Structure 1
Amino acid sequence: MTLSHTTPPAVLSGHPMTAPIGFGASGLGTLTWNIPDDVAQTILEDAWGAGFRYFDTSPLYGHGLSEHRLGRFLRGRPREDFLLSTKVGRYLVAPKKGEVVDTGQWVAPLPLKPVLDYSYDGTMRALEQSLNRLGVASIDIVYVHDLDRRNLGADFDRHWATALGGAFRALDELRRSGDIQAYGAGINESDVAADLVRATDLDILMLAGRYTLLEQGALADFLPLAEARGVDVVVAGVFNSGILVKPPTQGGNYDYGEAPPEIIERARRIAAVCAEFDVAMPAAAVQFPYGHPAVKTVVIGLSRPKYLRQNLDWFEADIPPALWARLKETGLLAADTPTP
């Protein structure tokens, strides 16, 4: 696989995603480390030079910091030369005096408080704020963010009903008016993704961590439905929070937490098969999702300059068909799993 340096991306009617690889801008919001402004700018410049033309962000990422930094960079590029997506479901407010704000995974976010809101008005407010932070006249793709049980828990049903009557209605109106070109959802659960395809007229869905070299549960529910209905799929979290980069002997990061022993063992077995064919396991992890016809794009989060070239090398590595066959022979992939 190679990145295109010559063909500008475009959002096409009925087929919103045309970029094979995306820049996930969560790291620009100080995810895991306090990335300085100049380093963030360097990463974006290097990514652009390497051929990245799809950039994804969210108000949640650094409580607006990711959008600020990404917008500052993109404002210097021709608007027709890149795809831009952000998310709704939260808008930002100034906290009350003395109020303690949960900063979550962000090391040094902006001093603002996210407010969870999937209503029509909340969606319009979030999108207006995003346009102001990004400093651009238009956003191509808007995702409804974190509408899943992992994030909403016991309140899931209530937020689901609000989003169907609010956020998705707002985005449908904006798509019909031409203010955005496509809309979808960015979530962590494949069964909820399948329900959203049935319940809405979305164009695209970003699924994090549920269709990877480690786990393929989305094959049972979401992916066949997405393919049948022409919904483009963007896969994020291809390393399952890091365990598919280098499997640990104990603990380790998996799915935003500590990996259980059976997951560690599975990752180690995958790594052994990759080593047999002299293929870096992260290269296989990056390229695996493209085997499914509904998957159009893999989004990779980048927050350190030294990892950009490494990720591109994984993306462009030659992987022999025999590796995928061996993973199936050993039961690490089901026999009918589509592979690149």
Structure 2
Amino acid sequence: MSGKRIGFASSIGFGGSTVGTLYRSMSDRQAEEALRAAYDAGLRYFDTAPLYGYGLSELRFGRFLRSVPRESFTLSTKVGRYLVPPRGETVDQGIWANALPLKPVFDYSYDGTMRSFEQSASRFGFASFDILYIHDADRFNHGAHYDRIFGQAMDGCYRALDELRSAGDIRAIGVGVNESDVATRFLRAADFDAIMIAGRYTLLQQDALTDLVPEATAKGVELVAVGVFNSGILAASAANAAGSTYNYGSIPPEIAEKARKLREVCDAHTVPLQAAAIQFPLRQPAISAVVIGMGSAKEVAQNNEWAKWPIPPALWADLRSAGLLRADAP
């Protein structure tokens, strides 16, 4: 493995999905205000992807980040998709409330990766990135085609990214996926610097302790935790928890019950459940950063408050005693 540390400029990162209009629309001005609030609050890691708003998030990130010193922040985006004009084809915008009128195309080939990198550079106005993650090469996105996609990502994406890293166009190669065993398979296959794991190391689920965390620790690869609210259930207030989501879908009864018990323990210690959800992954030494999607200056302030909320050690002990955390979770 490369053995070098990435050196994330902050342990809390600003995720670009919300300014890409995930679930709700927002203006350029609102996005600018959220990004400015994050930077002013000391957040210095910014992560996005071509998928988010079909290029809109990258455009908004670039517009703001070009206004601050480049050396002051860590920047990551992703490959595995590029964007094309739909040329009369109807494009499903899915979960994006107001995406750009472009069509995302999955492509894990060498040429597709270079095309994605070049498009992102153009949208940002930057010649290089700190990290490029291979995005969504997992079962969640590709189902029965996952094994074929894995092979394409290793033969195409990884080869292209390794060349970009060697040339100094990127500092680090990563993978961003939704399953810990998939992430572990990538780790064992090549020389990666970082893994972004979604929803698999949270208060609700610590699946990554089985395979990914030990493998990353042994290889000196840094982990970035995203989806720490499991898409919403851990971010919701008690009053609207039932109307929230779990991993972008409906909430299974057993997950709703576990979330309720987690909230009860947090309430007993006068700690917001959201604060515990943000801070818990960072107690794991292998995890260098937590990335959270934020869509307004108010959300930035609230997440920043939760990230700094004083949490007594007794809270973690009580969660473990109640069987709500794995015994091997720090």
TM-score between the two structures when normalised by the length of structure 2: 0.96
Q: Distance in 2 between matches of 1:231 and 1:13?
A: 8
Structure 1 residue ranges without an equivalent (≥5): 1-11
Q: Following TM superposition, by how much is the alpha carbon of 1:249 offset from its aligned partner in structure 2, in angstroms? A: 6.2
Alignment match of 2:75 (pick from 84, 107, 112):
84
* Residue aligning to 2:266: 274
* Residue aligning to 1:253: 245
* Residue aligning to 2:160: 170
Helix, strand or coil for the counterpart of 2:108? coil
2:286 maps to a residue whose letter is A
* Residue aligning to 2:301: 309
Q: Deviations 1:107-158 (Å, cap 9, x if unpaired)?
A: 1100000010000000000000000001112111000000110001121111
* Residue aligning to 1:186: 176
Q: Following TM superposition, by how much is the alpha carbon of 1:13 offset from its aligned partner in structure 2, in angstroms? A: 6.8
Q: Distance in 2 between matches of 1:335 and 1:158?
A: 36
Alignment match of 2:125 (pick from 132, 135, 148):
135
Q: Deviations 1:295-318 (Å, cap 9, x if unpaired)?
A: 000001001222111100100010
2:145 corresponds to 1:155 = yes
Q: Distance in 2 between matches of 1:244 and 1:207?
A: 17
The 8 Å contact of residues 45 and 74 in structure 2, kept in 1 or not, is answered as yes
Q: Following TM superposition, by how much is the alpha carbon of 1:177 offset from its aligned partner in structure 2, in angstroms? A: 1.3
2:20 corresponds to 1:29 = yes
2:320 corresponds to 1:328 = yes
1:5-154 matches, within 5 Å, as: 14-18=4-8, 19-97=10-88, 99-154=89-144
Helix, strand or coil for the counterpart of 1:278? coil
Structure 2 residue ranges without an equivalent (≥5): none
Helix, strand or coil for the counterpart of 1:225? helix
2:318 maps to a residue whose letter is R
Q: Following TM superposition, by how much is the alpha carbon of 1:251 offset from its aligned partner in structure 2, in angstroms? A: 5.5
1:288 maps to a residue whose letter is F
The 8 Å contact of residues 251 and 260 in structure 1, kept in 2 or not, is answered as no
1:311 maps to a residue whose letter is N
Q: Distance in 2 between matches of 1:285 and 1:111?
A: 35
Q: Distance in 2 between matches of 1:336 and 1:45?
A: 38
Helix, strand or coil for the counterpart of 1:72? helix
* Identical columns (%): 56
* Residue aligning to 1:3: none
* Residue aligning to 1:291: 283
- What's the Cα RMSD here? 1.3
Q: Following TM superposition, by how much is the alpha carbon of 1:232 offset from its aligned partner in structure 2, in angstroms? A: 0.3
The 8 Å contact of residues 17 and 297 in structure 1, kept in 2 or not, is answered as no
Q: Deviations 1:260-307 (Å, cap 9, x if unpaired)?
A: 110000000000000011100100000000111110000010012221
* Residue aligning to 1:201: 191
1:93 maps to a residue whose letter is V
2:282 maps to a residue whose letter is Y
TM-score between the two structures when normalised by the length of structure 1: 0.94
Q: Distance in 2 between matches of 1:213 and 1:254?
A: 13
Q: Following TM superposition, by how much is the alpha carbon of 1:173 offset from its aligned partner in structure 2, in angstroms? A: 1.0
Q: Following TM superposition, by how much is the alpha carbon of 1:222 offset from its aligned partner in structure 2, in angstroms? A: 0.6
Closer/same/farther in 2, CA of residues 335 and 13 from structure 1, 3 Å limit: closer
Give the length in aligned residue pairs: 326
Helix, strand or coil for the counterpart of 1:73? helix
The 8 Å contact of residues 59 and 87 in structure 1, kept in 2 or not, is answered as yes
